[in-house]
């Protein structure tokens, strides 16, 4: 009751409030109060401070929830050609275009993509089946940019090297 009184409530209101909880250890009878009977909530011997702490944490957790939309897990499948292949010691990128004879295409980093040849087994990176003019199928998704949180960027998550058409 001291905690309730510290918020400036009257003593009568504090007594009423204390006995409104389903965990209260007493119930109204006649003009006074008597010990509650049997029941899981009435007989639970949980200290009030623990209950108040739990309620406070629950409200704080609900108030701190994120309002941001979750990132989509959709993967867009794209078919085309690797018109440019750039292999550096720490990175593999391609110029991707639907036209095999194009001079340039949309740049994709495929360094972290799992890959396979045709219907073969999936392989861990790095991709070793790429060459200029290689027909490929890409699985592209949007991920959060690690260097600029909140900014989404495209990432190739899988790559299939296809036979020529």
- In DSSP notation, 32-90 reads EEEE--S-HHHH----HHHHHHHHHHHHHHHHT---SPPPP---EEEEEEEEEEEEETT
Is there a contact between 144 and 71 (Cβ–Cβ < 8 Å)? yes
- Average of pLDDT values for 15-26? 54
Among the listed residues 140, 117, 139, 135, the one whose alpha carbon sits nearest the alpha carbon of residue 127: 117
| Residue 86 confidence class, pLDDT cut points 50, 70, 90 | very high
- Average of pLDDT values for 64-87? 78
d(CA 92, CA 109): 6
pLDDT digits (tens, 9 = 90+) for 94-116: 999 999 999 989 999 999 999 99
Is there a contact between 137 and 82 (Cβ–Cβ < 8 Å)? no
- Average of pLDDT values for 36-60? 56
Q: Is the peptide bond before 126 cis (omega within 30 degrees of 0)?
A: yes
**Has residue 19 got a pLDDT over 90?**
no
Is there a contact between 159 and 111 (Cβ–Cβ < 8 Å)? no
pLDDT mean across residues, the chain: 76
The two structure tokens encoding residue 95: 């110029």
Residue 74: the pLDDT is: 86
Percent of the chain's residues with pLDDT above 90? 43
Distance from the first to the final alpha carbon of the chain: 81
């Amino acid at each position: 009751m001291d905690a309730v009184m510290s918020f400036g409530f009257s003593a009568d209101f504090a007594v009423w409030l204390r006995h409104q909880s389903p965990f209260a250890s007493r119930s109204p009878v006649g003009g006074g109060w008597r010990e509650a009977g049997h029941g899981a909530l009435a007989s639970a011997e949980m200290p009030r401070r623990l209950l108040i702490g739990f309620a406070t944490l629950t409200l704080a957790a609900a108030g701190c929830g994120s309002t941001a939309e979750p990132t989509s897990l959709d993967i867009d499948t794209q078919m085309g050609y690797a018109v440019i292949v750039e292999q550096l010691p720490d990175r593999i990128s391609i110029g991707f275009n639907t036209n095999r004879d194009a001079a340039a295409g949309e740049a994709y980093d495929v360094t972290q993509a799992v890959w396979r040849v045709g219907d073969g087994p999936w392989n861990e990176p790095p991709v070793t089946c790429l060459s200029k003019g290689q027909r490929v199928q890409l699985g592209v998704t949007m991920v959060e940019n690690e260097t600029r949180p909140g900014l989404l960027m495209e990432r190739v998550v899988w790559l299939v090297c296809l036979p020529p058409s």
